[in-house]
Structure 1
Amino acid sequence: MSTAGDARVRRLAPESVDLTEFASLLTSELEHEYLLLLVPYGLEAHAPSLAAGRLIRSRLAATAAGLLSDRLIRRCAALEMMHTSTLIHDDILDRGTVRRGLPTLWKAVGRERALLIGNLVAARALAIAQADSAEAANVFLETWQRVNVAQLREVNERGRVKDRAAHVGISIGKASAAMELGLVIGCMSSPGWPVDLTHLREAVREFGLGFQFADDVEDVRAWLGASGPRRSKEAEFDIDLGNLTLPVTILAESAGVRVEPAGRRSVQVLRALSLDDWEPCLQATFRIALDHLDRARWHLDRAEEFSGDLELARRVIEWADEMIESVRRKGLDMTLSELPRVVR
């Protein structure tokens, strides 16, 4: 089932996309790329950890494409490498110590090496995109700029209590940009390209926001309950650095708490607050997350009508519905009634 010019192409119905096979092919490609980058510096032992991950953005790309091909695998390798480079730099800036269940790269090799490896990984991602096409190179460069602008904005605003609009602005760059890139390269790899991406991009952007804000609630919940060491540390580091996530901002405003950057006092003050102080803030944040998921679903309904490719739109809708439901289930799992038994 191959075509001339591409030895591995398979047309797939929306319900039969083999994401397991896709993930295996992509992971192998990523491990190969990381080995090529790291072997010259004696750092090849870190290739598997860099290639690990849930591949959420690439799974979206494969679903949108509706097929598996060498070109899609290469595009998704570039996507995952760009995303990983931002995580490497994010961990350095935020002093993150655990990523994907392992020590972060800077903890393993030092800040200087990790910074430079992150740059090399990003450069390789952009090189792959450039070799693909000018169109691909442009969408990758746009994403790279959006992510870095959002990261710089977050650093500049450390210690400030931001309003919801500011949180949305930063999260659109940090959380949604790479998700949108997955959508775009998937659509570019589909037989029906070009299509109208207006509503599909808006849907994925809103989903990224809902996913991020629900994740912020989980981080704080783990910190309050002293459970989930990785999440607990992430929440504490954010507060200590003055990176105020949305639930912390809502609490700071409602309780009149002053959160100071790089100050252990802020961590101590927030941990000392009662569950009664935290509960409405966590609930409010999750309601905001659900609001963004509802907006995502509205845009998906419009996309089915206006995208110009009904099959592609329905494939993306199927993916999005599963992801939206997974976030909604987080809300059911995060029953705050359980917290009094574990809160310190």
Structure 2
Amino acid sequence: MAPVNLTPSDISAFILVGIPGLEAAHIWISIPFATCYFIGLLGNFTLLFVVGKENTLHKPMYLLLCMLALTDIGMSTSVMPRALGTLWFNMKGITVGGCLAQTFFIHMFAAMQSAVLVTMAFDRYVAVCNPLRYPTFLTNARVAVLGFVGGIRAVLIILTMPLLLSRLPFCASHIIPHTYCEHMAVAKMSCGDITGNRTYGLVVAIVVTGLDLALIFLSYGLIIKAVLRLSSKKAHQKALNTSTTHICVMLASYTPSLFSYLTHRFGQGIAPHTHIFSASLYLLVPPMLNPIIYGVKTKELRDKVGKCFCRM
């Protein structure tokens, strides 16, 4: 579809083209996308159901898992139903308001997920380094407060993104070469100065991802230091096992995110469809893998899932 010459006031909708250059393969591309999405939904809703049903799982660690599951569901659902509509039914039009709302929810849930991962690292730090204080210090109420603070932080930081986009003029093109309304993908369609958008996107990356990763590395550095001091081999193994589960989740969550960000910022020579694949996988892979990792690595949760399904 050729770009249409429009004045800023004429723009009432954007067109999401899906994956440019691979339009003929959209149906085939949608299969792994839909599979990842539905596996993620099934896994996360199962986790929420089992933790909600089993009173013995009403602990800070499982409350954090529920928060992570909710952010995973929100993040993938902000994108995939709309993206699958484009890939399956050629539904390309999206209103400006709908596009700005999608931008907000995608980045907000990603920031909330990052906050939950930091809280999970802090939870493991207290459990390993101060095990005697853990039951009284990190209660369900405190975890809920930390989750609430993380949510408020995400809303306040990300709200500026759609506000900055809403001020941009879109004069020449309203065609977005993407499967969803990602902040910089929309900004690049503008005929105005997008320096503010670029700068704010960088600030968000540093404040959210950079700071959160630094706190996570600090927590796990202290955890490793404490584990090495343990004299009991059994306690040593138990501490490492719990920490390994969390590290797997961190890697599953941050690796696709960082790859997507770096290719978008510095990969000018990379094909557009590679950018779009990495940006889509970053929203699909963690929600699919997180419940699987915890289901496999956490015996208590695995046993309760088995019991719940046996009763049905």
TM above 0.5: no
TM-score by length of 1: 0.31
TM-score by length of 2: 0.34
